[in-house]
Structure 1
Amino acid sequence: MIRVGVIGTGYMGENHVRIYSEMEDVKLFGISDPNVSRARELADRYETKPFADHRKMFEKLELDAVSIAAPTTLHYPIALDALRAGVDVLVEKPIADSIENAAAMIESAEETDRHLMVGHIERFNPAVLKLKEIIDSGALGKIVSISARRVGPYNPRIRDVGVILDIGVHDIDIISYLYGMKVNQVYAVAGSDIHSFEDHASIHLRLNHAYSGLVETNWLTPHKIRQLTAVGLKGVAYLDYLEQSVELHDDGWIRKARVEKSEPLKKELSHFIRCTRDGTCPKPSGEEGKHALEVAMAAIRSYTEERMVEI
């Protein structure tokens, strides 16, 4: 039996609580949130223990693993508390609010011999997994360009970061994942019209000095769009994150890939629990989460300083 806790009970945190409570061989031991009434409400609903302070939860309960779904600025101190308590950690993306804090989290995980996984949920989207399989099989030939469009209306609960760190980082990570390469150059154009941070951005990525990536993201579009296009020498793939679909076009055919739809977060948490149980290293790792953060921070620096940024 894997004993888990959840820190942060907002929209995403509640989903972690729900899924853990439904998993076999997993016991949701406790949840923590400074909003005591919210923590108690969820604790009553899911028959677990509420805590206002996550440190008290670590003191009172013997946990094997914890999800951190608190605001980004709190990821670093909470993760260090959890790792030092001997608990495996799944932290929601982005890994931290600074590259230095991300590096310290990774170092702490190594020192305590605990797992640190970053919750880049689109890695577990069945359509992304199918497209990765197609690309790796060579069916599209050499991939030369991957572009993503992640736009939609603004969610008022997002106050501590801009659109690049909130949702643009998803596609930054996925483009790197699909290529199997790190980003080495970033150029971004962005602006702020309805938010204190940037609320729209076009992010140009260069990988391995030869491959192209493009992320368009904003909080200004009245309807949600989550799409990606991969261009290869033998064909083009069109992916829809929301529909969990992949369509392949070449000079002779239009084909729809067979994708078994499922809830990405459930797949993500199952992977995390399996790694805790088996002692295997989870993916995305802390290093992968740190790279996505480095690229996102470089994009912010690029549009601020109006120049290309090397990574």
Structure 2
Amino acid sequence: MLGVGILGAGFFGAYHARAVASVPDTKVVAVCADEMALAEAFAQDHGGRPYSDHRAMLDDKSVDAVAITAPHHLHCRLALDALQAGKHVLLEKPMALSSSECSRIIAAAATSRRKLMVGQIMHFVWPCLVAREILVRGELGRPVTGSSALLKTWMESNRRGWHLDPATGGGMLMTAGIHALDQLVWLMDGRVGSISAAISSSFHDQKADDSAMMLLRFTDGRYGQVASVGFRDGGGRFDIDLVCENGTLRVDPERGVAIGRGGQWTDVPNSRDPQWMQNAVIREWQAMAEAIAQDTDVPVTGEYGRHIIACIEAAMMSAREGRDVKVLA
């Protein structure tokens, strides 16, 4: 039995707890929140021993692995503490606030010889997996360019003060737009060499961004664009269009996958998943549990997570300085 501790008893911590409960031979054995009352309420719903001190939870011998779902600015410290305590770590995105923090986490995982997986959920969303398989089969040829967008209401009910300040990893790009960035990089299957970006807070009075437009130049000469917009009011959008050598591919978590040829779109059968988010987290934990049990590589590595953060760092610098910026990791 793989004992899992949840570090962060909030909105997405519950997704992880439900996922763990759905995977054979895994069990939530502990949960930690800053306030014991929150940990106790979470434990009542999902099981496990409640803690208000994460170090005490990490001392719990029944905890083999942890899900870190705490606020973004706590990711690095919690991951380092967990790895040094000998726990496997599934670290929610963003991996950390900087590529240098990511490097520290990667080094700690290597030293501890424990599994580290970054929770970039799009790698486990069913329509994205269907699209990835189509690309791997090569029936559309290689993606040449792509456009990925996540446009949504920013001030949702689960928004907290730390979401609004860049010092604590806040902003639409780090919180949500990172998914649009990730799915473009992953499905294009390339490394980003440089980025040009415009980033601002256009709709809300806050220090952190709510809008970003990015042009990505891959090291092999291909390119793509990412839109990350947290509006005040509007209709949402979350999809990606890939223009391949022999056709186009559209992926939408809600609507599934479609292939474009001859000026028409054709839906790909069995590419929808009405419960796509929860099922993706279940697949994350299935992959994590398998990697631990069989001592194999995780599907989303720390090195990949660091590259996504390096892309965001380059985008932020580009927006400040008004120039194309190299991605350094």
TM-score computed with the length of structure 2 as normaliser: 0.90
Distance in 2 of aligned mates of 1:298 and 1:167: 17
* Bigger Cα displacement from structure 2, 23-32 vs 113-122: 23-32
User: Given the alignment of the two structures, is residue 76 of structure 1 paired with residue 86 of structure 2, yes or no?
Assistant: no
- 2:325 match: 309
Structure 1 alignment gaps of length 5 or more: none
Deviates more, 1:82-91 or 1:20-29: 20-29
Q: Do the aligned residues in 1 keep the contact of 2:241 with 2:248 (CA within 8 Å)?
A: yes
Query: How much is the aligned-residue C-alpha RMSD, in angstroms?
Result: 1.5
Q: In 2 relative to 1, CA 60–142 (structure 1 residues): closer, same or farther, beyond 3 Å? A: closer
Alignment of 1:76-155 (within 5 A): 76-154=76-154, 155=156
Map of 2:208 onto structure 1: 197
State whether residues 150 and 226 of structure 1, in contact with CA within 8 Å, keep that contact through their aligned partners in structure 2: yes
Secondary structure, aligned partner of 1:97: coil
- 3-state secondary structure, aligned to 1:96: coil
Q: Percent identity?
A: 28
The equivalent residue for 1:172 is 181
1:248 has 2:240 as partner: no
Question: Which region of structure 1 is more displaced relative to structure 2, 166-175 or 194-203?
Answer: 166-175
**CA shift in 2, pair 1:80/1:212, >3 Å:** same
> Partner residue of 2:268?
257
Checking the alignment, whether the CA contact within 8 Å between 1:141 and 1:234 is kept in structure 2 is: yes
> 1:111 deviation in Å?
0.7
Aligned to 2:310: 294
Q: How many pairs were matched up?
A: 310
**CA apart distance, 1:138:** 1.8
Offset at 1:209?
4.1
How far off its partner does 1:267 sit? 1.0
Partner of 2:241: 229
Report the more deviating stretch, 112-121 or 20-29: 20-29
Please state how far the C-alpha of 1:141 moved relative to its aligned partner: 2.1
1:215 paired to 2:226: yes
Q: CA deviation at 1:287?
A: 0.3
Give, in angstroms, the shift of residue 223 of structure 1.
2.9
Find the aligned partners of 1:123 and 1:239 in 2 and give their Cα distance.
Answer: 13
**Residues 50-65 of structure 1 aligned to structure 2 (within 5 Å):** 50-65=50-65
Amino acid at match of 2:77: P
1-structure distance, mates of 2:64, 2:308: 27
Q: Is 1:18 aligned with 2:27?
A: no
Q: Secondary structure at the match of 2:59?
A: helix
Counterpart contact for 1:231–1:237, Cα < 8 Å? yes
Report the AA paired with residue 217 of structure 1: S
Partner Cα distance (1:252, 1:77) in 2? 51
C-alpha distance in 1 between matches for 2:291 and 2:245: 37
C-alpha separation in 1, matches of 2:294 and 2:4: 15
Q: Which of 279, 282, 301 is the matching residue for 1:285? A: 301
| 1:32-63 Cα distance to aligned partner (Å, 9 max, x none) | 01022111001122232100011001123332
Aligned to 2:193: 184
How has the CA–CA distance of structure 1 residues 149 and 260 changed in structure 2, closer, same or farther, with 3 Å as cutoff? closer
Deviations 1:69-123 (A, max 9, x none): 0111111111111111111100000100111111000000001101110000011
Report how far residue 238 of structure 1 moved. 1.3
